[in-house]
Amino acid sequence: MSNVPILQLQNVGKTFGGLRAVDQLSLTVESGEIVGLIGPNGAGKTTVFNCVTQFYKDYDGDILFQNKEGQIVNLRDYKVTQVISQGLARTFQNVELVKDLSIIDNLLIGGHYEFTTGIVQHIFMTPKARREERQMRQKAETILESLGILHLKDFYVAGQPYGILKKIEIARTLMSDPKLIILDEPAAGLNDQETDELEQIIRQIKKDYNVTILLIEHDMGFVMNLCDRVCAINFGRFLAFDTPEMIQKNQAVIEAYLGGDNV
Ligand SMILES: Nc1ncnc2c1ncn2[C@@H]1O[C@H](COP(=O)(O)OP(=O)(O)OP(=O)(O)O)[C@@H](O)[C@H]1O
């Protein structure tokens, strides 16, 4: 870990009607860490992610990000569709892939914004467009190979088991050369073997692709095994941010979980 902040939430808040879903939340994620964001149901985790990824724009406070060029940018200045070009990619709780396309085509869609050639050049398949397509395809194959699913590249996404879908989603994020990947409940719906495999994959991509990982997850075993640090929130407010060992001993965190139906 290099102790360089890649993401800084400064007094972030978000209200739905009269409900304060996120309240004055400040936290810093260092470059190269795997950080878990935990909290009981309704604690505000998804809302935090939606603020960071700019799905919500009407939040209070600031969210600073060290982009691909190493500049600190305020994510508020970017639309939800633009944050990926800054180096921030995400996966979704309910896997969002194009089911009627092949696995490799789903990755090519993930890398589309890196094409310098436009639609007309692609329609007429100019030499430059062909070259770019070839390079992207090669990149996609390298990523699929590193995740152990290259042999499936020409299969449709539809009908693939959940464990494979999660891998494809992670593979697709890598097409954009992200610096930070946000994973929304990556282990949800996976069996024990798939969860173990996913843990290995996340560790491996962190190392091989030099990415920082921020994830929300309800599977505490997974979070505590995988994460370097864990941030706990409740009622949208900061509770603690520490190593997994310390978080498990933290009285405020224990009470937050024991106080609800989330034991
Ligand atoms: N779009 C919305 N409109 C109104 N209220 C919302 C909306 N999204 C979330 N909330 C409310 O904000 C609070 C935080 O919800 P959020 O989904 O962020 O929590 P969470 O920690 O991700 O929960 P879970 O672990 O159950 O997914 C909850 O009380 C929820 O009902």
H or E element at residue 200: helix 192-208
The ligand 1 atom nearest the CA atom of 47: 18
Q: What is the pLDDT of residue 130?
A: 78
The ligand 1 atom nearest the CA atom of 17: 4
Single-letter amino acid code for the residue at 83: V
* Per-residue pLDDT at 128 exceeds 90: no
* Per-residue pLDDT at 238 exceeds 90: yes
The ligand 1 atom nearest the CA atom of 49: 18
Q: What is the pLDDT of residue 263?
A: 41
Q: CATH 3.40.50.300: which residues of the chain?
A: 1-87+178-262
* Per-residue pLDDT at 112 exceeds 70: no
pLDDT, averaged across the chain: 91
Residue nearest to atom 23 of ligand 1 (CA): 42
HSE-CB for 52 with a 13 A CA cutoff? 31
Give residue 44 CA to ligand 1 midpoint distance, Å: 6
pLDDT digits (tens, 9 = 90+) for 168-206: 999 999 999 999 999 999 999 899 999 999 999 999 999
Q: Which of helix, strand or coil describes residue 238?
A: strand
CA 242 to chain CA mean position, Å: 20
pLDDT digits (tens, 9 = 90+) for 130-143: 788 889 999 999 99
- Residue in 12, 14, 16 to alter for ligand 1 test, most ligand atoms within 8 A of Cβ: 16
Domain 1-87+178-262: top CATH class: alpha beta
